[in-house]
Amino acid sequence: MDFSSIITNMSVGTVGAAAELTLDPNLKYWVLFPISIVMILVGVCRQYIMVLLGLKIKTYPRARLTEVQYMSKAQALLGNGTNLCLESFKTRQEYLAQLLADGKFLAQQEQPETPPNPLTDPNATDVMMNMLKSNLANYIPQTLTMWWVNHFFAGFLLMKLPFPLTIKFKEMLQNGIMTPDLDPRWVSSISWYVISTLGLAPVTNLLFSSNSEESEAFAIAQQQQQFDSAPGAPTPEAIMKSLANDITIAQHESCFDTVESRVLNLYAK
Amino acid sequence: MNSQEVFADIKAQESIQSNKKTLLYVQDGTSLAFGCGAGILQLEGFQGFGFFILSYFTVMALYVGWFCDFKPAKYYQAPTQEIIVDPFFRELAGFVMAWTFVYALIG
């Protein structure tokens, strides 16, 4: 179907400059619906492409896992030490302080002189590749749909917006329409593209909220974050040293210390 | 340090995520539905935006009352920020899209 043959009938109103146009109703069925459906389908495809790209689960050497787990063990002791009795707290405190100060489970025993170049480090390039891929998965479909809309649906008015716009929007939204005095509320198909790009997020959420793949991927990414040390972050060695210091000076307070008075307080009212 | 204070501050990341998801689902659905409503009513200009503000805050009040038992602080770390401010422009865009679409279809 030749879209340029759809004629936009114009009947200029008599009242002042406010022009009332009558649009061909076929515009709705042959322009508005196709653009909307394509936008939603592109969103669906992008969702699945993102899932496919994000599937790769990274692995880490055992030494690195041990290192991270000993650090979280120290943090757990600092956070939840109140649940232990004094004796077991002391035992763990001594053991962990000693171990962390020695750096027994450090994955990388001797530090290289210079910080590794992020461009040659294979892990860093992996992260950058992933970022690049997700960016491309966002931009390529957008560029393609925009080109498609501009190429096939240019040169006529599609719809009337329900809200007034300033004259500045005229150039952008009435691109290719030779009517210098037309109210900018009458817009061509590219503006419907813009509006639906902005407003598509809720629709995608409603369509996809049933599958929880996104949240699972999010959880995995969160888990991985503690293993990936960002360039510029403190080295594991420094973190271990500071944790050892924290543990050495940690004061033990059991959760049972004043439990009688707290229980009495709780039921006093 | 009072240990009761310590235990009051424990947060479960999964629950935080799921609470946010519930809120987002409710707000997305209602803003699209009210957008369609505004289109069917053929509202124009500030009437439509007023309709959005009205519906947004009504839905928020109902959500806080019905889902949160009037205690949003129990379910969200920063209630005002997370319930009102963060999703505002997302919902506004969804509303405007549905409104424009239905307005053009019917008008």
- How far from the centroid of its chain's Cα atoms is residue A269's Cα? 47
Q: What does the pLDDT read at residue A38?
A: 93
> Is residue A265 a part of any domain in this protein?
no
Provide the whole-model pTM: 0.71
CB contact under 8 A, A195 and B25: no
When CB atoms are compared, the residue of A160, A163, A198 closest to B97 is A198
pLDDT digit string, tens, across residues A85-99: 888 999 999 998 888
CB contact under 8 A, B104 and A201: no
> Is residue B21 a part of any domain in this protein?
yes
Residue A143 vs residue A105, higher pLDDT: A143
**Does B15 reach chain A within 8 Å, measured CB to CB?**
no
Domain limits for position B88: 13-106
Q: Which residue of A has its CA nearest to B42?
A: A162
**DSSP secondary structure letter of residue A114:** S
> Is residue B75 a part of any domain in this protein?
yes
pLDDT digit string, tens, across residues A179-225: 778 888 888 888 899 899 999 889 988 888 765 555 555 555 655 55
Residues of A in contact with B105 (CB under 8 A): 28, 32
Q: Which residue of A has its CA nearest to B49?
A: A163
> Is residue A32 a part of any domain in this protein?
yes
Q: Give dist(CA A25, CA A22) in Å, integer.
A: 9
Q: Give dist(CA A151, CA A171) in Å, integer.
A: 17
> Is residue B72 a part of any domain in this protein?
yes
Quick check: A144 pLDDT over 80?
yes
Taking the CA of residue B98 and the nearest CA in chain A, the distance in Å comes to 8
In this structure, what is the dihedral angle of CA atoms A116, A119, A124, A130, given to the nearest 10 degrees?
180
> Is residue A211 a part of any domain in this protein?
yes
Q: What does the pLDDT read at residue A11?
A: 39
Of residues A261, A16, A172, A214, the one with CA closest to residue B20: A214
> Is residue B2 a part of any domain in this protein?
no
Q: What does the pLDDT read at residue A135?
A: 84
> Is residue B8 a part of any domain in this protein?
no
> Is residue B1 a part of any domain in this protein?
no
Residues of A in contact with B49 (CB under 8 A): 163
> pLDDT band for position B24 (50/70/90)?
very high
Of residues B80, B74, B99, B91, the one with CA closest to residue B24: B91
Taking the CA of residue A113 and the nearest CA in chain B, the distance in Å comes to 38
- Cβ–Cβ < 8 Å for A244, A97: yes
Taking the CA of residue B96 and the nearest CA in chain A, the distance in Å comes to 7
Residues of B in contact with A209 (CB under 8 A): 21, 25
> Is residue A41 a part of any domain in this protein?
yes
Residue with tokens 């860093």: A124
Q: How many C-beta atoms lie closer than 10 Å to residue B96's C-beta? A: 23
Q: In chain B, how many H helices and how many E strands?
A: 6, 0
> Is residue B54 a part of any domain in this protein?
yes
**DSSP secondary structure letter of residue A250:** P
Structural domains counted in chain A? 1
Structural domains counted in chain B? 1
Tell me the CA distances in angstroms from A114 to A47, A77, A81, A111, A249, one per residue in order: 41, 33, 38, 8, 33
> Is residue A156 a part of any domain in this protein?
yes
Quick check: A13 pLDDT over 60?
no
> Is residue A152 a part of any domain in this protein?
yes
Q: What does the pLDDT read at residue A118?
A: 59
Among A262-266, B43-47, B53-57, the range scoring the smallest mean pLDDT is A262-266
Q: Which secondary-structure segment (H or E) carries A234?
A: none
Domain limits for position A177: 21-55+63-106+123-251
> Is residue B6 a part of any domain in this protein?
no
> Is residue A10 a part of any domain in this protein?
no
Taking the CA of residue A145 and the nearest CA in chain B, the distance in Å comes to 17
CB contact under 8 A, B48 and A200: no
> Is residue A13 a part of any domain in this protein?
no
Quick check: A119 pLDDT over 50?
yes
